[in-house]
Homo-oligomer: A and B are copies of this chain.
Amino acid sequence: MSKQGSLRLVAGMVGGGQGADIGKTHRYAMRLDDRYDLHAGVFGRDGASSARIAESLGVPADRTYRDYREMAERESAREDGVDVVAVTTPNDSHFDIARTFLEAGISVVCEKPLTPDSASAAELVAIAESSGAILAVPHCYSAYPMVRHAARMVRDGDLGRIRFAAVEHASGWAAAPVELGEHRQARWRTDPGVAGFPSVVGDLGTHAFHLLRYITGLEATRVSAELDTLVPGRRVFDNATVRLTLSNGTPATLWASMAATGNEHGLRIRVFGDTASIEWRHEDPQHLTVRDLDGGTTILAQGMRTLSEDAGRLTRPGLGHPEGFLEAFANFYRDLADELRARRDDTPTTVRDLSFPTGRDGLIGVQFVEATAASHAADSAWVVPAFAHDKVGI
């Protein structure tokens, strides 16, 4: 193929139309490191508006499609067709769109939650595996350099044996009943039908859960959850407290909320080992706090020359130059680009132990959501998630 050997990948997008913040974020992330050319897409259901957006993005008119099926068909027939498609539509449409592209052999970046139930999520994973395409899920928080470094420290035993962990994704974004106003995103994220799940666990909770798995390297063997609706009248559970047992018997807690009044993004993780502990907060992603048995605190900063290669390779301007959310998202896309190129060009895989989240991670997230719902229904009894039974259920 003509693309062979090129440094750049051809990207498409489904969703990301007017007012769709997450689509814009994907585009920022693709652009930053200059590894993707956005050359095709469906930017909303309204053809005219989609065309306008396409034009502003430099997407040729003949590769701006009416719907994703047409796009999959035509792009897969082109020599210079898209290598990967970002699916940034509301949750209830993920499955059909992702399946269509995967079946056409086109890799997919699909927003979480992958699908509204684990059967369909498992189906996507299976299709991806058989098709040779990549299914990636942008739990982008694991692409922050200091999160990578934290995961590396755990793998290297710098904390000793892990004994406890506490993770929170408790945002204040919907602390008021914002869905009653003009807030479009609020409306679909609090509509159980569109959101795919009736709880914040399916939304912010899966990010927190992935971060916990990513840094500790441990899986959950059982969960107990309480789901609450803090904002009266809201149609989804907007607050969840989860107790977990991890694979080495470690207890852990997870708190997910969209109604934590006054919090910014509220993502924070603490992991305690028997010789040291670490803390990372999304409000200050440049730093990683390490505490030792004596009570001493060390703050590591992105860009220090002494950090692991995992953190270093994801750092752009260096020490003292804050990078943030878009850079983390771009890191996800950069790691993905390396692997997409490897597959395209038939060179060795680039995937390492600390890499981008895939469909399997997305499926585990969906199974986690289901387990918390089951526990809640049983008055917060312990529930064993599907992935603990049968190795991710596929």
Contact with B along A290-328 (1 / 0, CB 8 A): 111111111111011110000000001111111111110
Is A96 in the interface zone, CB < 8 Å from B?
no
Stretch at the interface among A61-69, A262-270, A335-343, A347-355: A262-270
Least CB separation from A266: chain B residue:
B320
Interface residues of A, count at CB 8 A: 85
What is the CB-to-nearest-CB distance from A275 to chain B, in angstroms, rounded to a whole number? 7
Q: Chain B contacts of A176 at CB under 8 A?
A: 274, 293
**With a CB–CB cut-off of 8 A, which chain B residues contact A305?**
294
Nearest chain B CB to A217 CB, angstrom units: 18
Partner of A164, one of B7, B230, B284: B230
Taking A293-B261, A300-B296 as contacts, is the C-beta distance between A284 and B282 under 8 angstroms? Answer: no
Interface membership of A228, Cβ < 8 A: yes
- A258 → chain B closest CB, angstroms: 12
- Is A20's CB within 8 Å of the partner chain B? no
Q: Which residue of B lies closest to A290 (CB)?
A: B262
Query: Are B251 and A291 touching (Cβ within 8 A)?
Result: no
Given contacts A274-B231, A299-B299, A316-B28, contact A255 B293 (CB under 8 A): no
Chain A window 163-180, contacts with chain B (Cβ cutoff 8 Å), 1 for yes, 0 for no: 110100001110110000
Q: CB-defined interface of A217-253 with B at 8 Å, one 1/0 digit per residue?
A: 0000000101010110000000101010000000101
| 27 pairs from A and B in contact (CB 8 Å cutoff) | A25-B317, A31-B31, A34-B57, A230-B274, A239-B251, A243-B243, A253-B255, A259-B272, A260-B272, A261-B275, A261-B291, A261-B293, A262-B290, A262-B297, A283-B320, A283-B322, A285-B322, A286-B324, A294-B306, A295-B304, A296-B301, A297-B301, A322-B325, A326-B326, A326-B327, A380-B380, A380-B382
Closest 10 A/B residue pairs (Cβ): A262-B291, A265-B320, A322-B324, A264-B320, A321-B325, A297-B299, A262-B277, A163-B230, A261-B277, A324-B324
